[in-house]
């Protein structure tokens, strides 16, 4: 990877929720399919670096047995 900027480390809390649908299979195993949007504000320990934001989403399939 060329033309990269300075490396840095940033961290922040993650805020998310899940919008999903739950259904049971023939073996009584619970399954959930859903969409999980998330928001992560980033804060750097170095004040000269700007803060940032991560917005995203995940399509999930969960199995309970």
pLDDT digits (tens, 9 = 90+) for 53-65: 889 999 999 888 7
Please state the domain count of the chain.
1
Predicted confidence (pLDDT) at residue 52 exceeds the cutoff of 90? no
CA distance 62 to 60: 6
Which domain range does residue 49 map to? Answer: 12-64
Asked whether residue 60 is assigned to any structural domain, the reply reads yes
Domain annotation covers residue 1? no
Mean pLDDT confidence for 40-56 = 82
Q: Which two three-digit tokens encode residue 49? A: 């670096």
Strands 15-16 and 52-64: what pairing? unpaired
Check if the beta carbon of residue 10 is closer than 8 Å to that of residue 44. Answer: yes
pTM: 0.63
- Asked if residue 3 is part of any domain, the answer here is no
Question: Could you tell me if residue 46 is inside a domain?
Answer: yes
Any idea what DSSP says for residue 6?
A: -
Domain assignment present for 30: yes
Assigned domain for 22 exists:
yes
Q: What pLDDT digit, counting tens, does each position of 10-37 carry?
A: 778 889 999 999 987 777 788 899 999 9
Strand residues in 1-65 grouped as ranges (E):
10-11, 15-16, 19-24, 30-44, 52-64
């Amino acid at each position: 990877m060329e033309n990269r900027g300075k490396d840095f480390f940033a961290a922040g809390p993650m805020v998310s929720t899940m919008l999903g649908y739950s259904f049971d299979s023939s073996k009584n195993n619970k399954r959930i399919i859903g969409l999980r949007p998330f928001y992560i504000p980033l804060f750097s320990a170095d004040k000269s670096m700007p803060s940032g934001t991560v917005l995203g989403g995940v399509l999930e399939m969960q199995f309970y047995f």
